[in-house]
Structure 1
Amino acid sequence: MGPKIAVVVQVDLDGRQVRIVVTGAVTEINQQGLCPVIGRARRLVPGIRVVVDLRPAESVEPAAVDLLRWSAEHENAAAGAQKVEFLLADRGAAPATTIPGTTRPVGLPVAHEARRAEVTA
């Protein structure tokens, strides 16, 4: 089994925005599972804003983001659908939250944690 992702879909009660929060390791292979979720979110209400939040993910492959963006641009969205917004973690700044049971901030890849441990040891 390869890396897995988990998805939480948050829909505003007023129907103006859908936020798709992704955790786990987003890869070139498993990003395919997000495409139908994004497509369904875009078709909920005409003109709805869809935000894919990849900041909580442990790691995100750049190729996976490219494929997600391409898919969102080329899918048959509902009439008047807005562009999908992708939120990515700023690798230069550590997020404020940590993964439960660890000291690793959410959004930093595991390799970064090992380097940080070497520096502080």
Structure 2
Amino acid sequence: MQASAAAGDPAPATDVPPPRTRGRRGARSTAPLVAVPADGLGWSESDLEELDRTAPGLLPGRIVKCDQAGAVVLMPLGAARATYCAALLLAAAKAKAAGRIWPRPGDRVALRRWPDGPITVEGVVV
């Protein structure tokens, strides 16, 4: 480790490992987080205030891609992979064909970032 990193300065870009990939078909890479402004997520100031008032601690987000295991979401901190909360999973189990259960790309969602790292989709904001 360099002395500048020990002093609190960010590590130089040469210390960053190359993206990881897995085979040709299932290639996945780790991408750095890119800051996204909240208004770029489709949230107005009044929406953000309402979210903060009704569900303190939850973050605004917008779904980019989703499947039954989770979703790729944009947040003010950047893009991340999120799983669904227990309430969404329970609703899906109870109402298999009762209409739309899973969030769709483009939906505005409330997200919880857990202290140990994972992010969960807590609900769709209408």
Into which bin does the TM-score normalised by the smaller protein fall?
under 0.3
- More relative contact order, 1 or 2 (CA 8 Å, 6+ apart): 1
Larger Rg belongs to = 2
- What is the TM-score when the length of structure 1 is the normalising length? 0.20
- Normalising to structure 2: TM-score of the pair? 0.20
